[in-house]
């Protein structure tokens, strides 16, 4: 009997890649998304890659009766919760919007999962570590007080899951992603930022394709080897595979603790300048960039110690940053070709 995984926010960047990997690993997937921050591009890409259409339900996870109905109508073995707002700056300007959406939706997922005995995987973030005292960070590194409502929702949702697991006998995993980048090797699914991208790699690819005039590198006076910030850029397909490992650990009853947390990163720090130069080299082009002032709220350096995920989930990142940056560029070109049709 195939196990069924509900992917909330499954039409988005990470959710679409996770859907592909889950189906290819033998799971049935139900995608549910309110389409508030994406169009059908990634869902169509998922269907093209898989050669069939996973069940798609348009719904909002803040709608408690709709969530209850979904769980009542389907036997769901695990839910992966991606459906959330994710722009750091926007969350500072609109905290109530972020708190209502990101917390309500997850509370509804927890309530329905409690009733139906469903395993819960929460999509968390390295943002919970803030500016770490020591790098690389392990799962034991202290969480720092959040610098944005977005970061705060990640911390709170982790705590909701921990407390529900403790009280109700549920099982849950939080995956803390570092910086997810890249696209599927087919170039049929990828990141689709609305408006001006906040994140580095979409800004790089949009500059390379001519949609943006110039990339600003935010600060070159950080206490790092080349003065630019250090991050752990994790390939989105590698990241998606970590979800398959985590889901199978949950549904096959292999968890050692009812609530587990894993860092999902490469363990390899990369500076902004190194990333830009790697992008130029692997794709054989020159990028227009300039050094700009620091961006408020940026941490100097954060990267993962991913050894726990390797030991317990049997997962580790496999794609090189060059492969990943080539896939991001192939995706941008695919979008440009589609737009020109």
Q: Is the peptide bond before 125 cis (omega within 30 degrees of 0)?
A: no
Q: Which range of residues in 14-22, 99-107, 214-222, 241-249 is near ligand UD1 by CB under 6 A?
A: 214-222
Q: Which of residues 190-209 bind ligand UD1 (CB under 6 A)?
A: 198-200, 203
By CB under 6 A, is residue 86 in contact with ligand UD1? yes
Q: Which has the closest alpha carbon to 176: 149, 202, 207, 141? A: 141
Closer CB to ligand UD1, 220 or 323, in the complex: 220
Q: Which range of residues in 25-33, 76-84, 97-105, 212-220 is near ligand UD1 by CB under 6 A?
A: 212-220
Determine the length of the chain.
341
* Planar angle of CA 320, 285, 180, nearest 5 degrees: 35
Closer CB to ligand UD1, 54 or 180, in the complex: 180
Beta bridge partners of 259: 172
Report the SS3 class of residue 29: strand
Greatest alpha-carbon span in the chain: 56
Instruction: Report the alpha-carbon distance of residue 225 to residue 210 in Å, rounded.
Output: 30
Q: Residue holding tokens 């049709």?
A: 341
Active-site annotation holder among 27, 150, 177, 259: 150
Closer CB to ligand UD1, 98 or 203, in the complex: 203
Kindly write out the interface string for residues 130-149 of this chain, putting x where it contacts ligand UD1 by CB under 6 A and - elsewhere.
------------------x-
Smallest distance from the beta carbon of 125 to ligand UD1, in angstroms? 4
Q: Which of residues 297-336 bind ligand UD1 (CB under 6 A)?
A: 298
Is 222 considered catalytic here?
Answer: no
User: Residue 198 has what DSSP assignment?
Assistant: -
Pairing relationship of beta strands 119-125 and 78-81 according to DSSP bridges:
parallel
Contact in structure between 293 and 218 (CB atoms under 8 Å): yes
Cβ of 247: how many Cβ atoms within 10 Å?
24
Q: Which of residues 260-279 bind ligand UD1 (CB under 6 A)?
A: 272
Residues 6+ apart with CB under 8 A from 44: none
Smallest distance from the beta carbon of 72 to ligand UD1, in angstroms? 33
Kindly write out the interface string for residues 215-244 of this chain, putting x where it contacts ligand UD1 by CB under 6 A and - elsewhere.
xxxx----------x-x-------------
Q: Which residues bind ligand UD1 (CB under 6 A)?
A: 86, 88, 125, 127, 148, 151, 179, 198-200, 203, 215-218, 229, 231, 272, 295, 298
The residues annotated with a catalytic role in the active site are 150
């Amino acid at each position: 009997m195939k196990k069924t995984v509900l992917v909330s926010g499954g039409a988005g960047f990470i959710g679409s890649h996770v859907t592909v990997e889950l189906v290819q690993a033998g799971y049935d997937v139900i995608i549910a998304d309110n389409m508030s921050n994406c169009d059908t591009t990634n869902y169509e890409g998922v269907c093209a890659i898989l050669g069939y259409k996973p069940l798609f339900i348009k719904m909002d996870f803040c709608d408690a009766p709709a969530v209850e109905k979904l769980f009542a109508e389907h036997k769901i073995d695990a839910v992966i919760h991606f459906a959330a707002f994710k722009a750091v700056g926007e969350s500072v300007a609109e905290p109530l919007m972020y708190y209502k959406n990101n917390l309500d939706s997850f509370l509804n997922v927890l309530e329905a999962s409690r009733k139906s005995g469903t395993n819960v995987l929460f999509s968390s973030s390295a943002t919970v570590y803030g500016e770490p005292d020591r790098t690389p960070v392990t799962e034991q590194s202290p969480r720092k007080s959040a610098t944005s409502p977005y970061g705060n929702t990640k911390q709170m949702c982790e705590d909701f899951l921990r407390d529900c697991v403790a009280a109700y006998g549920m099982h849950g995993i939080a995956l803390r992603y570092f910086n997810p980048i890249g696209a599927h090797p087919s170039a049929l699914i990828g990141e689709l930022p609305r408006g001006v991208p906040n994140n580095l790699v979409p800004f790089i690819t949009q500059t390379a394709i001519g949609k943006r005039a110039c990339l600003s590198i935010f600060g070159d006076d950080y206490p790092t080897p080349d003065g630019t910030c250090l991050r752990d850029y994790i390939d989105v397909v590698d990241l998606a595979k970590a979800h398959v490992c985590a889901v199978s650990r949950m549904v096959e009853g292999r968890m050692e603790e009812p609530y587990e947390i894993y860092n999902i990163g490469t363990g390899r720090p990369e500076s902004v300048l190194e990333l830009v130069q790697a992008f130029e080299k692997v794709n054989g082009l020159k990028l227009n960039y300039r050094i700009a002032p620091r961006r408020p709220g940026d941490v100097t350096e954060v990267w993962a110690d991913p050894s726990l995920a390797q030991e317990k989930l049997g997962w580790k990142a496999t794609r090189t940053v060059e492969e990943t940056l080539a896939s991001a560029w192939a995706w941008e070109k695919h979008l440009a070709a589609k737009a020109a049709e």
